[in-house]
Chain A
Amino acid sequence: MKTIYSITFFAAMLCLASCKKDVLLDGNESIQRSNALEKELKAKLHSAPDGWIMFVRTLNPNVITAAPIIMKFDTVSSKVSMTSMYGKDAEPSLFSVSATTGMPQLTFSTGSTLSAMYEIGNTNVTDHFFKVLKVGADTIEVQPYRKGQASQSEGGEIIKMVRNTKPAWIADWQKETTKFMTRQDLFGYYLSTSMTYANGQPFTPLRMVFLNQPAGNITFFKENYPTMTNNKQVEAFSFAYYPLTGAAVQPLSFAGYNSIFYESTTGFSPATLFNTGPATIMSLFKTNYFLIRKLNPDYIDVFALDKDGKEVITGRIGFL
């Protein structure tokens, strides 16, 4: 009888002691966590003296490259200055780090190179607010707040910003001091191209021409086209394709900071100039931009990077 009692007692105590602990959700922690992330983000942004590099990808499926934007953040004055194919140390714009939607957000709060890309469209920059997902030693993961359309769900593509550790390609890119547009001796002639692709794909030389845009067009772009209104260093021309047979393609192209690039947008017409034309060039070269390594007497040395900063296209355009 005794044993039964003791067993019963011990069993009862065991059950009682193993009660579930009710822990209420402690909202405190999430606020603290997000404040801590905000602080960490600000410190990280400031900690890189040479800034952070974001690689922006166009959504054209033929393109294998991504364009770099080097951003230097001054967290004291809340200013960010950007160096990209659009321009060098362009007029600083404002940014803000806040937690107004719970998660820390990096907002490019006034007009900038990045917001011009957002406005043009067709890139993975689909908003000017960015959710900060992770802050690491050398990378910051961000995500545009929206996908870009009212009927779509939240959250764009995850983009990685890497600390600028001064890789070799930056020095290469920034070496040339002459502006491309001054080389009018290359304009108006049939030029040939040769490209080497890191993935080994073959390239058939294409016949291209650098053409100047009529003055009227240039005035229009300067006043209305976001890439040029937001980036004063950009100049417009046409990186035209003249196939041996068939119609020429003369898209709107730009000469930026040691670069030539072209983008497709639906916000302007005619489509051949703004949309389908540039898209054709993108599918021919598999890139939407070239960084200019060197302006030689007869040709230009160009290259392009992928989203990890690796040089994937190296080539020459000119009298080869």
Chain B
Amino acid sequence: MKKIYLLSLAFLLITSACITGCKKEDKIVVDGPIDYTAVKKGPWNGLDSLTDTLFRNYGVRVFYEFNPRIIDPTTFYVPAQYDKAKLYTKYVVEKLWLEPLKKHFPRFLNDQKPIEFLILGTYVHFNSISSGTAAGAGLNAQYYRLGMGGADRIFFTKAGLRSHMNTLYHEHAHQLDQKFGRGYLYDRVSQGTYYQLNFQSKTLAQANADGFFTAYGGYAPEEDFATTVESMIGLTRAEVQTIIAKNPKLATKYEMVYKFYLDKGIDLHEMHDILDQVVNTLPL
């Protein structure tokens, strides 16, 4: 009788040992967070070396290839062609944007540069790739990243690239607006007079007379701000003075924007001249 009990006890002990061994305390291996800004794996090509150099010299990482984690999936775009992306990186990003800024306005570059720059082939569409003209030239909903679209469509000539720089500064102005705010005083200057969606039917002359640098600037205060910057980068100082003489509101806004940038370490008129000079040195 006792033997049976002893045997059963032994059996129980063994089975209980097995039971406790059932639950395996395995730690779930969690892979590190995916860092898509990390250096590209696999063999580098010429453009990869260039972007790496730019990163080391200026702290800006240029992206021309994408995976779905880089830009959110509600944005539709096509990546740029390789040779266009290469030209764009070389001439627009390095020669016309980063180099002059580092040389002449290092504080501005240091404090205000986006750490990521995205080059897209098409413009940025938001509902589907076929949204037609409802597309953005730039992608700048985040402070740390600037994206420019339409790289496949740019004319890689001196004039084409020079005029593209105006767009680049326009988009970057939106970033600074979101980061610092253009100020409620800026919005008060032309309050109640913005064209909203009617801007498409206004001419440049009308816009100037109404107190906007361009018709598009008359859409809303944020575009007003960015087109002021665009105009100061695109026109000579003398040309800007002629325009602001047409409406005192223009003069007020111009002063505000000029000071906004000066405080951050860049003289926009000087930048205009520098860009004119640099673009002439390009082998195009």
Contact = CB atoms under 8 A, between A and B. Distances in A.
Interface of A: 2, 5-6, 9, 12-13, 16-17, 19-28, 31, 76-78, 91, 93-94, 96, 98, 100-101, 105, 107-112, 115-116, 118-119, 121, 128-129, 145-146, 148-151, 154, 223-224, 226, 229-230, 265-267
Contacts of A93: 81-82
B26 A121 contact: no
A104 to B, nearest CB: 11
Contacts of A145: 68, 73
Contact of B22 (A12, A22, A78, A107): A22
Nearest to A108: B79
Contacts, number: 140
Interface string B214-230: 00000000000000000
Contacts of B82: 91, 93-94, 110-111
Contacts of B65: 94, 96, 107, 109-110
A98 B30 CA distance: 18
Given A100-B34, A110-B82, A119-B129, A21 B22 contact: yes
Contact of B129 (A24, A118, A129): A118
A77 B45 contact: yes
Contact of A16 (B15, B24, B69, B84): B15
B200 interface: no
Nearest to B69: A100
Contacts of A9: 4, 8
B66 A149 contact: no
A6 B84 CA distance: 85
B117 to A, nearest CB: 16
A128 B69 contact: no
Contacts of A78: 42-43, 45
A119 B124 CA distance: 12
Contacts of A150: 74, 76, 126-128
Contacts of B84: 111
A111 B66 CA distance: 11
12 contacts: A13-B12, A13-B15, A27-B31, A28-B28, A94-B45, A111-B82, A118-B129, A128-B79, A150-B74, A150-B128, A226-B122, A266-B132
